[in-house]
Structure 1
């Protein structure tokens, strides 16, 4: 699974996604949500799921101003310099993407189910859902 922790940025896919956000901004977030919500995909792979969770965490940080979950200083700076009103329209997409990650048609719950930290991972994703409103 290329993960080293249960946090939203504690895997290779999400760590790489940070660079996309720093380069492409809101477009990278929207793209991650669109991929997760693509109705033509019956199955959401782990990499896409990790990216959707990371994008949702970044959006939540922009909307709430709470950057404690962000592990990258450059990303925190980007978030602090981003107008929440500009990204607010992505909230529903983010919530839908998180729901899709938690669904039976997603690889991540299956991968985490086999882990001793499955409850911690699921609780963190549920915390993210609440943060998104």
Structure 2
């Protein structure tokens, strides 16, 4: 596993996924992200590390377009213009929930080392993806 840090784009698999998004036709990028999220959601048995890493990166791309979201990594994230992914917030949340639920190889690998910072990053993504209360959306809270 080529992983160098705890962020959603800090591994070879996520960087390759972002490169594939850049190489895809503009009208295919939304379905690629949706597919990455739904593949993980639909996995009932052991979830492979590569599928999880791609799903976390895809969820981070969705979160990047939400209020409070962090921009995608400028080095390893996609370089090409991305469509609006905000309609996939629920899918992204479900995918992150699945990555954080046994049996998940990525979660197991992080549990073998100090996985607390990685878990904190995933929780931050989940918090950004949660629907905001109406008053908060308007900046009233």
**Residue in 2 that maps onto 1:100:** 98
Unaligned runs of 5+ in 1: none
Contact 1:58 1:70 in 2 (8 A): no
Contact 1:43 1:107 in 2 (8 A): yes
Which structure has the greater CA radius of gyration?
Answer: 2
TM-score, scaled to structure 1? 0.83
Identify if the C-alpha distance between structure 1 residues 4 and 89 changes in structure 2 by more than 3 Å, giving closer, same or farther.
same
Give the superposition deviation at 1:68. 3.5
Note the aligned Cα RMSD (angstroms): 2.1
TM-score, scaled to structure 2? 0.79
Structure with the bigger percentage of helix: 1
What is the CA–CA distance in structure 2 between the aligned matches of 1:121 and 1:74, rounded to whole Å?
A: 18
1:125 equivalenced with 2:129 (yes/no): no
What is the CA–CA distance in structure 2 between the aligned matches of 1:66 and 1:94, rounded to whole Å?
A: 13
Unaligned runs of 5+ in 2: 131-141
